Amino acid sequence: AQRVTQPEKLLSVFKGAPVELKCNYSYSGSPELFWYVQYSRQRLQLLLRHISRESIKGFTADLNKGETSFHLKKPFAQEEDSAMYYCALGADHSGAGSYQLTFGKGTKLSVIP
Amino acid sequence: KAGVTQTPRYLIKTRGQQVTLSCSPISGHRSVSWYQQTPGQGLQFLFEYFSETQRNKGNFPGRFSGRQFSNSRSEMNVSTLELGDSALYLCASSSLGGAEAFFGQGTRLTVV
């Protein structure tokens, strides 16, 4: 069975400081890893997926298979980054191309002005 | 392009009743998944439908069921409601059932 762990429930950083949101996973196959973000009063939305290897809103995440981690990083935090961040692992258990997302419990990022 | 739409946004039901929630996916998306979000358990996968067929099911009791129509709209039903069913129910759609999912705003169900 797969599992996603986000060890920090709450992370507070000052504006302009670097941010790292931790995510560790356990899965026996080849995972697809994602970061989702939920801003206040908005729907859950995709921020990053490991396959694309792109930077969105200054955030990057690298899949480290050796450490089974997919930490989210940003060099300089902005106030608008304050939100709930969820790490998720996608896996096809049905064998029919049906992906099931397993989410971590989330980390609330608070950027202090 | 309109996003995923869920109705109603809020529901209050009594224990023992049943409830039906509705989800309209993004146009062209044929896969619809449902998730339950609670403070204690977080986001948990309920089931996934593609072309009117359930392809995948999470670890929930049989009181939780769903269906998908030919226009890809989906409904989920919870029968014999329990207090523990109080949660935010999220619907997500994707084009081919891939892992990249687009979420609706959810239906908040309160069971009293």
Give residue-wise pLDDT tens across range B94-103.
Answer: 886 566 789 9
Nearest CA among B31, B48, B25, B44 for reference residue B87: B44
Q: Which one of A39, A99, A105, A108 makes the best mutation probe of the B interface by having the most chain B beta carbons within 10 Å?
A: A99
Report residue A7 CA to chain centroid gap.
Answer: 12
Report the SS3 class of residue B28.
coil
Distance, in Å, from the CA atom of A75 to the CA atom of A88, rounded to the nearest integer, reads 22
Out of A94, A104, A105, whose CB is closest to B56?
A94
Distance, in Å, from the CA atom of B44 to the CA atom of B79, rounded to the nearest integer, reads 18
Report the SS3 class of residue A80.
helix
> How would DSSP label each residue in B46-98?
EEEEETTEEEEE-S--TTEEEEE-TTS-EEEEE-S--GGG-EEEEEEEESSS-
Report the SS3 class of residue B2.
coil
Nearest CA among B59, B53, B43 for reference residue B92: B43
Q: Does B68 touch chain A (CB under 8 A)?
A: no
At residue A16, the pLDDT reads: 97
pLDDT tens track for A8-60: 999 999 999 999 999 999 998 888 899 999 999 999 999 998 877 777 899 99
Out of B33, B44, B56, whose CB is closest to A93?
B56
Average pLDDT over residues A90-109: 84
pLDDT exceeds cutoff 70 at B1: no
Range ranked top by mean pLDDT from A30-34, A49-53, A105-109, B2-6: A105-109
pLDDT tens track for A55-94: 789 999 988 989 999 999 999 999 999 999 999 998 876 6
Out of B56, B100, B106, whose CB is closest to A100?
B56
pLDDT tens track for B52-84: 999 889 999 999 999 999 999 999 999 999 999
At residue A69, the pLDDT reads: 95
Residues in B closer than 8 angstroms to A32, CB to CB, are: 99
Distance, in Å, from the CA atom of A46 to the CA atom of A2, rounded to the nearest integer, reads 20
At residue B98, the pLDDT reads: 63
